[in-house]
Structure 1
Amino acid sequence: MTTAFLPYPEGCIRAEFIERRKRFTVNAQRADGPVAAHTNNTGSMMGLLREGRTILLSPAANPARKLKWTLEAVEFDDFWVGVNTSTPNRMVRAAFEAGQLPDTEGYTTFRSEAKTGNSRLDARIEGPRGVLWVECKNVTMVEDCRACFPDAATERGRKHLHELMTLAERGDRVALFFLVQRPDGDCFGPADFIDPEYADLLAKALDKGVEAWPFEAEVSMDGIRLGRRLPVAI
């Protein structure tokens, strides 16, 4: 069995975080001057984005893009925290292809961004066992050794839970893949102190058969590797 690993694009740089200027923009400083970067993380990144912290930026794939860099990770104490929200989608596919998702044994095909009704979910996995829908979430917050999601109230996340429950009620198999991009959580649970409605909905979703797959990601300067599976604490 191979290990699911996502390398960063070539040409990444380190910089010193200054501020989050807009929802999708962070300002940083390098020895040769200031640099602005795009962040696709719409959450609060609570406790991470503090002035003076080291951040990792990757070059934009499109050289014509206005912001030439993308925020990938933040150095926190003695470890890195991955904040790029596209990583869980890429990782769940890499893990499936590497045979690192035991819950997908017996499934043979993987399709990203699959449509169901009026929505799209992150993955549709098929095989002799039927259809498995997977929605992916990025986790960057740990409180009292528990990895928590979300780090900001999420209407979109609650909408996804309703969609997953509807699929489960009609007999489909559905799962939530939570990628915890930091190493200091011993278990995973909903952040009821951030979004109590999401926490209540997640508990209801699990009761209706929606599966939760929390996995730790090993984040380094080279890239991101899939690590251990965490227990769920509701």
Structure 2
Amino acid sequence: MLLPFAKPCEEARFVSRHKRFTVLVERGGERFAAHTNNTGSMLGLLRPGGRIWLSESANPARKLRHTLEITDFHGTLVGVNTSTPLRLLRRAVEAGRLEGVAGCEGFRAEVARGNSRLDALLEGPRGRLWVECKNVTLVEDGGVAMFPDAVTERGLKHLRELAAAVEDGDRAALFFCVQHGDGRCFGPAWSVDEEYSRTLYEVVDKGVEVWAYRALVSPRGIDLGERLPLVLP
């Protein structure tokens, strides 16, 4: 397993979205606040009384010791921690489990390019490779995993920056980490963000690569599953 938790996540029940980075949860009759780094809509994943799983920090000084990691979507586990895709990408590259990065090394995270900061930069036999990671939790239409789940101007900016990298002679890729077990293929969410979806097609035509992988989500940790086919023209 590429990303094991320090100890298995603890099951709880979701109560409400308290603030942007906070959820109210219940466990053993006790209600308390837990951290979430997912500021997206998490469309359909947070239902009052629904099962969730929390990791616990070993840092006693941390204000909120628990972090929301997983939700239960009608019996399917869905990973909602938005830091997972980049960490999974790094571990997968190091373990040689990702297509398209053979011979790449020097993994650098959060590297500035133009007016953006992209998630990763690798050096390989074909030169520089820029990668932007996205967490995918929206699945509809019988197994189509889709991104985004809300309008994203930041994501649109990243698409254009990746296209600019290709125009400058570098490689560029999008790593869509599908943390929803029902995902069978991947495509853009036209009904959510038409401009992002249209621009994704445009940058693919310019040479930006799309890597969509299913993540294997469990309370023990996250592993890399199979590469998913793309629903692209």
1:102 match: secondary structure: coil
Aligned equivalent of 1:40, options 37, 40, 47: 37
Is the contact made by 1:149 and 1:189 (CA closer than 8 Å) also made in structure 2? yes
Greater shift, 116-125 or 142-151, is seen at: 116-125
Q: How big is the shift at 1:32? A: 4.3
What is the CA–CA distance in structure 2 between the aligned matches of 1:191 and 1:159, rounded to whole Å? 17
What is the CA–CA distance in structure 2 between the aligned matches of 1:119 and 1:157, rounded to whole Å? 10
What is the CA–CA distance in structure 2 between the aligned matches of 1:63 and 1:31, rounded to whole Å? 21
What is the CA–CA distance in structure 2 between the aligned matches of 1:232 and 1:209, rounded to whole Å? 15
1:221 maps to amino acid: P
What is the CA–CA distance in structure 1 between the aligned matches of 2:205 and 2:99, rounded to whole Å? 21
Listed as ranges, the gaps of 5+ residues in structure 1 are: none
What is the CA–CA distance in structure 1 between the aligned matches of 2:163 and 2:126, rounded to whole Å? 20
Which residue of 2 is the match for residue 220 of structure 1?
218
Which residue of 1 is the match for residue 95 of structure 2?
98
What is the CA–CA distance in structure 2 between the aligned matches of 1:38 and 1:154, rounded to whole Å? 22
Q: Deviations over 1:108-161 (max 9, x none)?
A: 321111222343211111022211000000000101110000001111111111
Aligned equivalent of 1:153, options 151, 154, 177: 151
What is the CA–CA distance in structure 1 between the aligned matches of 2:59 and 2:200, rounded to whole Å? 37
Q: How big is the shift at 1:180? A: 0.2
Superposed, 1:175-194 pairs within 5 Å as 175-194=173-192
Which residue of 1 is the match for residue 73 of structure 2?
76
Which residue of 2 is the match for residue 22 of structure 1?
19
What is the CA–CA distance in structure 1 between the aligned matches of 2:11 and 2:209, rounded to whole Å? 37
What is the CA–CA distance in structure 1 between the aligned matches of 2:157 and 2:212, rounded to whole Å? 20
What is the CA–CA distance in structure 1 between the aligned matches of 2:229 and 2:60, rounded to whole Å? 42
Is the contact made by 1:106 and 1:129 (CA closer than 8 Å) also made in structure 2? no
Aligned equivalent of 1:202, options 197, 200, 203: 200
What is the CA–CA distance in structure 2 between the aligned matches of 1:5 and 1:138, rounded to whole Å? 17
Aligned equivalent of 1:137, options 109, 134, 137: 134
Is the contact made by 1:59 and 1:69 (CA closer than 8 Å) also made in structure 2? yes
TM-score of the aligned structures, taking structure 2 as reference length: 0.95
Greater shift, 201-210 or 74-83, is seen at: 74-83
User: Cα RMSD between the aligned structures?
Assistant: 1.3
1:52 match: secondary structure: coil
2:15 maps to amino acid: I
What is the CA–CA distance in structure 1 between the aligned matches of 2:221 and 2:9, rounded to whole Å? 11
Q: How big is the shift at 1:48? A: 0.6
Which residue of 1 is the match for residue 111 of structure 2?
114
Aligned equivalent of 1:57, options 30, 54, 58: 54
Aligned length: 231
Identity %: 58
What is the CA–CA distance in structure 2 between the aligned matches of 1:134 and 1:78, rounded to whole Å? 32
1:104 match: secondary structure: coil
Q: How big is the shift at 1:58? A: 1.1
